[in-house]
Amino acid sequence: MPIHQPQQRTDVQSDRTGVQQAEAALVEHYPRLVRLAYVVLPPALGRHRRVLTAHAVVQRALPAAGSKVSGPRVPAQSRRTGPPAGAEGASADRVPAHPAYGWVRLRVLRAALAHERRPRWWPGRLPAPAALRPALPVVWGLRLFPRAGGVDELALDRALSAVDGPVRAAFALQLLEGLDETGVRELLAEAAVADPADAVRRAARLGRPDRAGAQAMLRSGEFDPCTVQTRPSDLLRRRHRVRAAAVAAALCVLAGGLAVAVEQGARGGGEERSPAGVFAPVLDPAELMRTAAERWADTSRVDFTAWPARGGRTEDDGLLGRALRAWAGPPASVRVSTTPGTATVPPAQPPRLLFAGEVDGAAVVLFHDGGVRVVRYAEPLSGSGGAAIDFARTDDADVTTGAAVVVSRTGDGARFLLAPWIAESTTRDLLAPDTPGRPLEVGPDGVTAEVPRPAAGGACETWPVLQLRSSERIVEKHAFLVTDLGDLAPAHLTYTPKPGRGAPARQPREATSTEALLAWARTACSLRTLAGSGVRSVNNWAFAEQKLPEGGASAGWLCTRADTWRGPGRVLVQFLAPAPSPTDPAVVVADRDDTALCSRFGQHVLAGTHWKASSGRWYVLAAGSRAVTRIEASGAVRGAAGGPTLAVRAPRDADVELTASLREGGTLTAVH
């Protein structure tokens, strides 16, 4: 039997043609391939290093010079579909399903996935084995970042960081490359993924329910490593770090086992990992996000993301590094405080720097973490006191709720860092509604003079608030009130006027009118019960006005609703009887936690109280909101009245149940 020798490929021209086709595909679709690599690479690398690694993975996808390749092998999925149209510019609009592109894409995918399979103990900046190590482009003195996105892009990036590389790869292949599930599974199998079907199943859960929105976000600038911003990594200590790096290299030769410690020491500890698993780039002061000084005037998103970095120590890497490390893993000597519902976990990506400076004998740093939290770090400039770090939720902040942050608080007062869009600032006393506001001095770094704090106990004789006015560049003639309730972010005070006859329901408005100030003068002291509970805003809703029996004057009914940053609200229903002084406190007749009452989701309210007339007779009074058409009293006494108010004679301690009928049908019971 003749023995057939295996055929040997000797067509050198075919080798050259295959490599040329692969090179042409790589050059033509380079931005798409780099974006794919960036999404698949581990987010723990940090954005700067992930940008460089993504470019390196794609640039090394071609075979080395002199290698024998007969032409790119055609992956199974590339016979069915190529890259999706319209993904990266005009050249990407008509991409053929060419075998060369599929071959290069597979090489990129393998290299990106291999990067995550490095040993967990392998330091990120030391040479890795050849099979795992992409050679990075060299960038000295600069940090590279894709353009920052919004809250939705940040949420998607966090969701991707919570899954492993194969899931990110499946997600990217579906939304960026337009492959179906079968094609994704086959391509992942060729990339040596252990369980492609499981990766596809888990990827299908990402981006739900708006997969189209997730696709648009994945193609946005947040995930584009070809359109980047730059910042210097250091300016003052670069030469010292070069010397330290040389020393580190020498020590690595002498003692390779100490390589990780030498690397961290060379960088002043700025890239150590925290116990929570935060990688070095997140803890590097050079990676901090910084907003341009005038960004707030040219964006539709006016919140903490528009705040520039201010203060005299924004370039102090030592202070910033200590603040970041205290955030990642506070030692026992650091005091930690949080507002309810605020997570203290380390940031998933470098936070935004808002302030770094010296205030009231302390070095203070303020960070903003991706639209979710504001974090304040403070350490004493002298003495033996310890550092402190405070966490507060600030998600969905706006022009008013993102207008100020407490930068320093003493026993008697507090200083605030004001938003860059605040054009005018004054202070006033809620218990002196007829007294005009007094100008509040603000330094060039945005820090105010000390503002007296509301008394936490004892007599309630004054209630200081800030009255701020936004710049006409964003909101014309928009003045509003905020007050310090013990949290980092002051609470926004609003007022909803009494319902008008035949008029639509009123909406909350700024509490700067005479009517609003008079209402707050009688209810300000009730704010004490809200201190330290993470209150975002407090609204006084004048839901009813009642003519008192025996020819008396009119009384008012207010529903004071406090909304927290975490969602649940607290309601105080207050009765404003006629009083000789405009600051006599209202009577709290109902107190309810975790309720939708007196909000847009709870627009009907009924309340009652006992009241003594000047004759000495006692009555049960009740009032409801504008949709109440009838109120009935039962129990110890019985009575009924058409309309939104009721007054019925009753003993002082009579137990009375109140119910109301609503205009659109249904009944309402009184809140207690």
pLDDT in tens, 577-636: 999 999 999 999 999 999 999 998 899 999 999 999 999 999 999 999 999 999 999 999
Pairwise pLDDT comparison (215 vs 236), residue with the higher score: 215
Quick one: pLDDT at residue 644?
95
Pairwise pLDDT comparison (253 vs 508), residue with the higher score: 508
Considering 242-251, 343-352, 357-366, the range whose residues carry the highest mean pLDDT is: 357-366
Quick one: pLDDT at residue 611?
95
Pairwise pLDDT comparison (296 vs 2), residue with the higher score: 296
Whole-angstrom distance, CA of residue 246 vs CA of residue 224: 34
Question: In the chain, what is the greatest distance between 2 CA atoms, to the nearest angstrom?
Answer: 128
> Looking at the DSSP assignment, which residues form a beta bridge with residue 58?
none
Quick one: pLDDT at residue 347?
87
Q: What confidence category does residue 246 fall into, taking pLDDT thresholds of 50, 70 and 90?
A: low
Kindly state the average pLDDT of the residues 229-234.
64
Number of H helices, E strands in the chain: 13, 27
What is the residue whose two structure tokens read 């370039």? 315
- Cα–Cα nearest to 464, from 510, 420, 425: 425
Query: Residue 303: pLDDT above 50?
Result: yes
Query: Residue 423: pLDDT above 90?
Result: yes
Average pLDDT, the chain: 82
Which of 92-101, 505-514, 581-590 is predicted least confidently? 92-101
Alpha carbon distance, N-terminus to C-terminus of the chain: 101
Q: What confidence category does residue 16 fall into, taking pLDDT thresholds of 50, 70 and 90?
A: low
Quick one: pLDDT at residue 144?
77
- Cα–Cα nearest to 616, from 649, 584, 586, 639: 649
Query: Residue 403: pLDDT above 60?
Result: yes
Whole-angstrom distance, CA of residue 111 vs CA of residue 36: 11
Kindly state the average pLDDT of the residues 542-570.
93
Query: Residue 129: pLDDT above 50?
Result: no
CA dist 334 to 274, 378, 610, Å? 15, 10, 51
Quick one: pLDDT at residue 514?
95
Half-sphere exposure of 324 (CA within 13 A, CB side): 33
Query: Residue 482: pLDDT above 60?
Result: yes
Give pTM, 2 decimals.
0.63
Q: What percent of the chain has pLDDT over 90?
A: 51
Pairwise pLDDT comparison (312 vs 217), residue with the higher score: 312
Kindly state the average pLDDT of the residues 545-569.
93
What is the residue whose two structure tokens read 């595909």? 25
What DSSP assignment string belongs to 394-449? -TT--TTTTSEEEEEE-SSEEEEEEPTTEEEEEEEETT-TTSPPEE--B-TTSBBP
Which of 123-127, 166-170, 313-317, 397-401 is predicted least confidently? 123-127
Q: What confidence category does residue 118 fall into, taking pLDDT thresholds of 50, 70 and 90?
A: low
pLDDT in tens, 43-80: 888 888 888 898 988 988 886 554 444 444 433 333 33
Query: Residue 114: pLDDT above 80?
Result: yes
Q: Which residues does 318 contact at the CB level (< 8 Å), separation at least 6?
A: 268
Whole-angstrom distance, CA of residue 449 vs CA of residue 470: 19
Phi and psi, residue 56, nearest 5°? -65, -40
Kindly state the average pLDDT of the residues 233-250.
53
Pairing of strands 618-624, 587-593: unpaired
Query: Residue 569: pLDDT above 50?
Result: yes
Q: What confidence category does residue 157 fall into, taking pLDDT thresholds of 50, 70 and 90?
A: confident
CA dist 353 to 238, 278, 291, 313, Å? 21, 18, 8, 11
Q: What confidence category does residue 275 fall into, taking pLDDT thresholds of 50, 70 and 90?
A: very low
CA dist 7 to 4, 10, 384, Å? 9, 9, 81
Token pair of 444 as six digits: 């060039």
Quick one: pLDDT at residue 364?
98
Whole-angstrom distance, CA of residue 216 vs CA of residue 542: 45
